[in-house]
Structure 1
Amino acid sequence: MAAMTRALLLLFALAIRSAGGQQRVHNVFDFHAAGDGKTDDAQAFLGTWQAACSDAGEPVVAVPGGRAFLLSQVSFQGPCKSPITVKLDGNIVAPNHIWTKEAANLLTFLGVDHLTLDGNGGIDGQGAIWWDCYNRKKCHARPILLGFARCNNLTVRRIHLKDSADKHMTLFQCSQVNVDSVSVTAPADSPNTDGITVALSNNTYISNTSIQTGDDCVSVLSYTKNITVTQSRCGPGHGISVGSLGRSETAMVEQITVSNCSFIGTMTGVRIKSWQGGKGYAKGFLFQSLNMTEVQYPIVIDQFYCPQGNCPIKHGGVAISDVRFIDIQGTSSEQEAIRLLCSQSVHCQGIYLSNINLSWVNHTSPANATILNAHGSTGGMVVPRIQFSDFL
């Protein structure tokens, strides 16, 4: 009998602890959000965030589905007392007018560790008015849709990003990041609408994404390490790019993996690009198990990056080394399927290609490759044929 009593008391204590440990839900409607897509809901969202950030019980910020919430330039700041989950099931929309002349983010999470942003909802940047303004050279600064800065142990899952004025998602000075099943859409001709940009960050894993934009699907900038993009679809867009590197900073990039991805109608597939005269290094790349469908230039290393086309010749360059291209199949829309263009003063070293089969779509002539100041080796079948530069 005493043993049974002790067991019942233990179960009762565990039940109390479990009930007390339930996550508290902070709903934006409890803080007077209108959710009509017309009323500015910034104060309601900030009030909800402040309540959740001061909650030590691993709280949830709830943005209910079926409603639209108008926001502009809202910053959610940490540190917070415990991990927070933002459950985004509704849709956040930007104002449909030019609402800032300065560099800005529509939404920013700053210094928030152990954050999860998850849900079936999305963020719409209503970017068309901005793209037109930019193309007419009247908007020099355009807002980024969603920015994370100094957020460690971050998870972003399932949400949909649409029509950003500029880049869609940026990761800046973040560590231990998992981006999974996120989708990004913007027209192919929308300017600079990169999908996900990673800078000054490490240990980032991007998987199961679908990105259709007017610029890079994923761009990896300097001071990054251990970045993986896998099981993802890119196109339209400019491909998955490392760089551009070395224009104003000393480049430091290493351990970048892109695997099991498909590229459809993109400008490039996988690309490393740097400016002439740059400094620093980029090393430790693995591009593996990739499928290219009518990609203009499927494989690119370009140490002469100059989008304006009028850059002066400069000596020096970012040292690019240890780059492996393995199991890459498909078609190019240009005959030049592979471009490895490295500088005379800083050659590319340790380039390896294996099991490459790229054909020039709708042409009987074979695809070809251009190699300049690149040194390496091949294994297995490599089509088009590669002739590496002889060592000086």
Structure 2
Amino acid sequence: MDFHAAGDGSTDDAKAFAATWNATCGDSSSPTMVVPGGRTFLLSQIRLNGPCKSPVTVELDGEIVAPNSIWTTAAANLLTFYRINNLTVNGSGQMDGNGDIWWTCFNQKLLAFASCNSLSVKNIHLKDSPDKHMTLFRCSQVQVNNVSVRAPGDSPNTDGINMAFSDHVYISNCSFQTGDDCVSILSGTSDVIVSNSTCGPGHGISVGSLGADGTTALVERITVSNCSFSKTMTGVRIKSWQGGSGKANGFLFENINMTDVQFPIDIDQFYCPQGNCPQQDGAVAISDAKFINIQGTSSNPEAIQILCSKSVQCHGIYLYNVNLTCSGHTAQTRATILNAYGTIGGTVKPQVQFLGA
């Protein structure tokens, strides 16, 4: 407000945000930029650039809204933080993407962080993004805590958090209600922990898709623990296209509760959302994936699906204490395993038969 923002929800406050950011970023005394509560700030597309002279906090207590119109024809983010180290975004406020008017084209995203290191995002609410709600690209040492994401279950491509070429990302105590992946982990990403979070509706927590158009992918050391999934399409998933290359390894999925999930455990090297993909040799090699203490119900009798390529088989799959029953059906759950080597321990239901076992 000191930089002449209207905060009335109808006046574009992008210039006031830019002026406030320039003053904040140029301050060497660890300043805080405050978006005050009780007001609504309309923003057109804006990018806030670093590097800054000292650590910066953005206190988001009010509401930021996107224009309720088609405001660009190019792929874009409403609010991007770029090349800012030691950034904290905190507060009780909300970003509303007014996404329903975009859901036939979905190429505008809500909140993006690019090339930001030592980043902390806490307590904010994200709602109805036109596309992905939060993106992390080439970020390192990221903490996301107590963030909520909310969009209708049938809204297209509204991932909760999408990350690529990032490392050491820690997501905890978050709530995701989306029309696509709650968390999506793409190529170039390593050392990710998602814990104590809820997902549903949505498509689950997904690694991939990887290897599209013959590309080489690399994803390593991903942990999902103490999370719950309700009425999602998948629970924990690794998905890759035929014909890709590279590797995805070092997965731990543990202490997870599933409620009415279509495919609670899903590894799919034949990912093809539109159907009719040509058969190809080659695949992203998937190995060292552990599924431990996973309980609950599946809405589909096929509760476990591990579908691997004949040319690049999956190795090192481990299931321990898995108990998945069929919700609302008298049918027994089953597992479909294709070209996968692995072992089991404890009690595993449905029964799983790996190659070489």
Bin for the TM-score computed over the shorter chain: over 0.9
- Supply the distance in 2 between the matched residues of 1:389 and 1:342 (Cα, whole angstroms): 11
SS at match of 1:187: coil
1:366 deviation in Å? 1.4
Q: Which residue matches 1:51?
A: 23
Q: Which residue matches 2:289?
A: 323
2:275 pairs with one of 299, 309, 313: 309
Moved more, 157-166 or 360-369: 360-369
1:67 pairs with 2:51: no
Letter in 1 for 2:80: T
1:352 pairs with 2:324: no
1:195 pairs with one of 133, 136, 160: 160
Relative to its length, the structure with more helix (as a share) is 1
Q: Which residue matches 1:233?
A: 198
Per-residue CA deviations over 1:328-382 (Å, capped at 9, x if unaligned) read 0000000000000000000000000000000011222210000000001000000
1:177 pairs with 2:149: no
Letter in 1 for 2:352: I
2:71 pairs with one of 95, 99, 102: 99
Larger Rg: 1
Q: Which residue matches 1:292?
A: 258
1:1-392 to 2 correspondence within 5 Å? 29-131=1-103, 134=104, 139=105, 142-248=107-213, 249-390=215-356
- Supply the distance in 1 between the matched residues of 2:329 and 2:277 (Cα, whole angstroms): 34
CA RMSD of aligned residues (A): 0.8
SS at match of 2:111: strand
- Supply the distance in 2 between the matched residues of 1:252 and 1:169 (Cα, whole angstroms): 21
- Supply the distance in 1 between the matched residues of 2:204 and 2:168 (Cα, whole angstroms): 21
Per-residue CA deviations over 1:134-153 (Å, capped at 9, x if unaligned) read 1xxxx3x6210000000000
Per-residue CA deviations over 1:158-180 (Å, capped at 9, x if unaligned) read 00000000000000000000000
- Supply the distance in 1 between the matched residues of 2:182 and 2:334 (Cα, whole angstroms): 25
1:198 deviation in Å? 1.0
SS at match of 1:44: helix
Structure 2 residue runs without a partner (length 5+): none
- Supply the distance in 1 between the matched residues of 2:254 and 2:65 (Cα, whole angstroms): 37
Letter in 2 for 1:142: N
- Supply the distance in 2 between the matched residues of 1:146 and 1:364 (Cα, whole angstroms): 44
Letter in 2 for 1:124: D
1:283 deviation in Å? 0.2
- Supply the distance in 2 between the matched residues of 1:363 and 1:44 (Cα, whole angstroms): 57
SS at match of 2:30: coil
- Supply the distance in 1 between the matched residues of 2:97 and 2:116 (Cα, whole angstroms): 22
- Supply the distance in 2 between the matched residues of 1:43 and 1:98 (Cα, whole angstroms): 20
Query: How many residues were matched structurally?
Result: 356
State, as a whole percentage, how many aligned pairs show the same letter: 66
- Supply the distance in 2 between the matched residues of 1:373 and 1:194 (Cα, whole angstroms): 30
Letter in 2 for 1:253: V
Letter in 1 for 2:159: D
Query: Which segments of structure 1 move beyond 3 Å, counting only runs of 4 or more?
Result: none
- Supply the distance in 1 between the matched residues of 2:205 and 2:93 (Cα, whole angstroms): 25
SS at match of 2:212: coil
Relative to its length, the structure with more strand (as a share) is 2
1:390 deviation in Å? 3.3
- Supply the distance in 2 between the matched residues of 1:330 and 1:318 (Cα, whole angstroms): 29
- Supply the distance in 2 between the matched residues of 1:390 and 1:378 (Cα, whole angstroms): 12
Structure 1 residue runs without a partner (length 5+): 1-28
- Supply the distance in 1 between the matched residues of 2:77 and 2:341 (Cα, whole angstroms): 42
SS at match of 2:33: strand
Letter in 2 for 1:107: L
Moved more, 34-43 or 360-369: 360-369
- Supply the distance in 2 between the matched residues of 1:170 and 1:222 (Cα, whole angstroms): 13
1:389 deviation in Å? 1.9
